[in-house]
Amino acid sequence: MNEAVRNIDGATKLDAAIIGAGVAGLYQIYQLRNMGMKVRAFEAASDVGGTWYWNRYPGARFDSEAYIYQYLFSEDLYKGWSWSERFPGQPEIERWMHYVTDSLDLRKDIQFDARIVSAHYNEDTRRWIIRTEDGETIDAQFLITCCGMLSAPLSELFPGQSSFKGRIFHTARWPHEPIELEGKKVGVIGIGATGIQVIQTIASKVGELTVFVRTPQYVLPMKNPKFGEADVKAYKERFDELKNTLPHTFTGFEYDFMYKWADLTPARRRDVMEEIYQNGSLKLWLASFAEMFFDPEVSEEISEFVRDKMRARLKDPKLCDLLIPKDYGFGTHRVPLETNYLEVYHRPNVKAVSVKDNPIVEIVPEGLKLADGTVHELDMIVMATGFDAGSGALTRIDIRGRGGHTLKEDWGKDIRTAYGMQVHGYPNLFMTGAPLAPSAALCNMTTCLQQQTEWIADCIRYMRDKGVAVIEPTAEVEERWVRHHDETANANLISKTNSWYVGSNVPGKPRRVLSYTGGVGTYRQKCNEVAESGYEGFAMTA
C-alpha cells in the first residue's frame, strides 16, 4: 500500500479542494458549492484576497480600471459596491474582496492559515491526497489551483541577506503593521510595475532613497480621477455593456485595438497615439496598434513616441540614459502606469544607481554591495524583485501525478499545459492563472479568471451528469495546444524580450512565453469549442 492510501484514514474528505482564496478561488468555491459539491478552499494567508492580501506595499493599486476589475456574474454584487476612484489602492481593493466574500457567504468554506505543501494523485483511489503545512490530510476528487500567476516571490536572491542589520521586505510580503519610513535610508531593488509604485509613493517620506536600476522600463502616466456619485452611477449603468464586451476583447479590458497602422498617415498615427496617451490608462499598450507586437518598425515608432514623452519629463541626459529603454520594444514588457514617478528622480533625496554592469553581489550588515566593492549603506531594503511567475506557485508545492511524476520536475524541463487548465499525467487537476492561458500578462485578471473557473465548473458538471469520475487531457491534445501557443507566441515580439513573461527572470527556468498571446476572446472561444465537442481530446473514465 502506498503512503497516500495509508494516510487516507482520518483525512478530510471533499469533492473538490481549492488552493487559494483570491479572485479565482472565491468564485470557484461559489460555483462548485452551488452545484451541491463538498468544497473547501485552503488559503495560506489569514484572510481572503490573494494578490490583494499579500501585496500591501506602499502605493499598491490597480492599473485596470476598478469598474472592469469585477465579477460580472451577478448584477447585484456588481452594483452593491461603489469605487472611490478610477484606479483604487490596495486597502480599498482588499475591502472589496471582503465585501464579495461576505456577500456570497464564502468564509465558511475557506480554511485560513492553511498552506498546502503537497498533493499526490493516488492511482488506486483516483483521488488527490493533499497535505497542509500543519499536517492535515485532505482526500479530494478534484484539486483546483487558484494560486495566482504572480504569487511566488523572488525574495531570496542575494548572499548575506540574513546578515543585514536593518529590515528587508519583499513587496509581496509587506507586513501588516505600519513601517516607519521617515528619515530612513531606503534602497529599492527593481523598477517593474511594483517598484515604480513603491518608489513614487515613498520618495517624499524617506530620508534618502537609492533606486538600483538594472533594466530601464517604459512607463505611462496614470490619470486617476476620484469618482463622485454621478461617475459611480454612470459606470454601474454600463453593467450589461461591460458584461457583454469584456469577455470578448483581446485583453479582457473594455477597449480593443481600433486602428490599422497601414491605414493611417504618419501624422494621423501620431495624433492617435497622442489621443490615446492622454487617456492615462494602459490603452496605448493594449488597444492602440496591434502591429506593435509583430512588426519591429511599428514597435520602434511607438517606442520612440513613449521615449519622447519620458525624455520631456526627465530632462537630465544622464537620467534619460539610465531610465529610458533602448534595446527592446514598448509593450514587450508589462507596461506600468505611474504618477510623477519620473519626477521622483529630480528630488535631492533620491538617487538612481545603475546595477547593469556593476551588479549587486551581496547584502552586507550595513547595506548592499556591488561588484566593484562599493557598499551602499542602508537602513531598509525593499525587494521589488518580482516573482517566479505562472509556474512558481505550483512547483513550490510537491504536486505528483500518475507514475509519481512531479510537476516540479516535468516543468523544470518544459512548461506544458492543455489550454492552461490541465496537464497530461495529472488527472482531475484543474488550474487557473497557470501557464499557456492569457492570465496576467495580457489580460484583465478578473475577466480571465471568471472564464477559467466557469469552464472548470462546467466541465465538472458535465462529468457528473455523464457519470464520469476522472478527466485528463491526452498527450496529443496537450501537444496541440502547446504548438498553437508557441506558434502564436513566437510571432510576438514579447517572445524576444527578457522578462518574467518568458521566465528569464528565474535562472534555469525553461524559456517559453507564459501567457497565451492569441487574445482573451479567442482563448474563450477555443475553450468553449472544447466543451461543446464533449471535451474531445480529454480522456474521461467512469
Restricting to residues 308-337, name those near ligand NAP by CB under 6 A: 334
Long-range Cβ contacts of 4-10 (<8 Å, 24+ apart): 4/120, 4/122, 4/125, 4/129, 5/122, 5/124, 5/125, 7/129, 7/137, 8/122, 8/125, 8/129, 8/137, 8/139, 10/137
Stretch that binds ligand NAP, among 183-191, 200-208, 319-327, 467-475 (CB under 6 A): 183-191
Site string for ligand NAP, 131-150 (x = CB under 6 A): -------------------x
Supply the angle between the helices 23-34 and 445-466 in degrees, to the nearest 10.
30
- Using rule CB under 6 A, residue 449 touches ligand NAP: no
CB of 503 to ligand NAP, least distance (A): 11
Residues 493 to 522 in contact with ligand NAP, rule: CB under 6 A: 500, 505
Chain centroid, CA 29 distance in Å: 20
Residue 129 is a binding residue for ligand NAP (CB under 6 A): no
Is residue 170 near ligand NAP by the rule CB under 6 A? no
Grid cell 504548438 is found at 483
386 binds ligand NAP (CB under 6 A): yes
- Please, which residue, 192 or 473, has the CB nearer to ligand NAP? 192
The distance of closest approach from Cβ of residue 88 to ligand NAP in the complex, given in angstroms and rounded to an integer, is: 10
Residue type, 83: W
CB-based contacts of 334: which residues, under 8 Å, 6+ apart? 192, 193, 441, 499, 500, 501
Pick 51 or 428: Cβ nearer ligand NAP: 51
Q: Are 439 and 389 a contacting pair, CB within 8 Å?
A: no
Residue of the chain from 192, 427, 433, 503 that contacts ligand NAP (CB under 6 A): 192
Residue of the chain from 31, 249, 385, 446 that contacts ligand NAP (CB under 6 A): 385
Q: CA–CA separation, 284 vs 273, rounded Å?
A: 7
306 binds ligand NAP (CB under 6 A): no
Considering only 194, 288, 339, 450, the residue that binds ligand NAP (CB under 6 A) is 194
Task: Say how far apart CA 259 and CA 537 lie, in whole Å.
Answer: 37
All residues at 6 or more sequence positions from 298 whose CB lies less than 8 Å from its CB, including other chains: 261, 289, 291, 292
Binding pattern for the stretch 213-242 against ligand NAP, x by CB under 6 A and - elsewhere: -xx---------------------------
Judged by CB under 6 A, does residue 193 bind ligand NAP? yes
Options 192-200, 269-277, 302-310, 399-407: segment touching ligand NAP (CB under 6 A): 192-200
The grid coordinates of residue 495 equal 517572445
Report in angstroms how near the CB of residue 359 gets to ligand NAP at its nearest. 6
Find the residue with minimal CB distance to ligand NAP: 192
Q: Does 53 bind ligand NAP (CB under 6 A)?
A: no
Residue 184 beta carbon to ligand NAP: minimum distance, rounded to whole angstroms: 20
CA distance 274 to 269: 9
Q: Say which residues have a Cβ less than 8 Å from residue 282's Cβ, sequence separation at least 6.
A: 63, 64, 220, 253, 335, 337
* Minimum distance from residue 215 beta carbon to ligand NAP (Å): 3
Full 3-state SS string of 422-445? ECCCCCCEEECCCCCECCCCCCCH
- 167 CB-near residues (< 8 Å, 6+ apart): 179, 379, 380, 381
Q: Which of 61, 309, 376, 524 binds ligand NAP (CB under 6 A)?
A: 61
Select 62 or 426, whichever has its Cβ closest to ligand NAP. Answer: 62
Q: In this chain, which stretch among 41-49, 127-135, 207-215, 397-405 interacts with ligand NAP, using CB under 6 A?
A: 207-215
Cβ atoms of residues 137 and 12 within 8 Å: yes
- Residue 193 or 530: the one with the smaller Cβ distance to ligand NAP is 193
In the complex, minimum distance from the CB of residue 164 to ligand NAP, in angstroms, rounded to a whole number: 15
What are the helix (H) ranges across 10-154?
23-34, 51-54, 75-79, 90-103
Asked if 440 is part of the footprint of ligand NAP (rule: CB under 6 A), the reply reads yes
Among the listed residues 336, 282, 246, 149, the one whose alpha carbon sits nearest the alpha carbon of residue 520: 246
Q: Closest approach of Cβ 501 to ligand NAP, in Å?
A: 8
161 binds ligand NAP (CB under 6 A): no
Which listed residue (26, 384, 399, 457) binds ligand NAP by CB under 6 A?
384
Cα separation, 506 vs 493, in Å, equals: 20
SS3 assignment, position 376: strand
> Which chain residues interact with ligand NAP by CB under 6 A?
61-63, 150, 157, 189-195, 197, 212, 214-215, 334, 355, 360, 384-387, 440, 500, 505
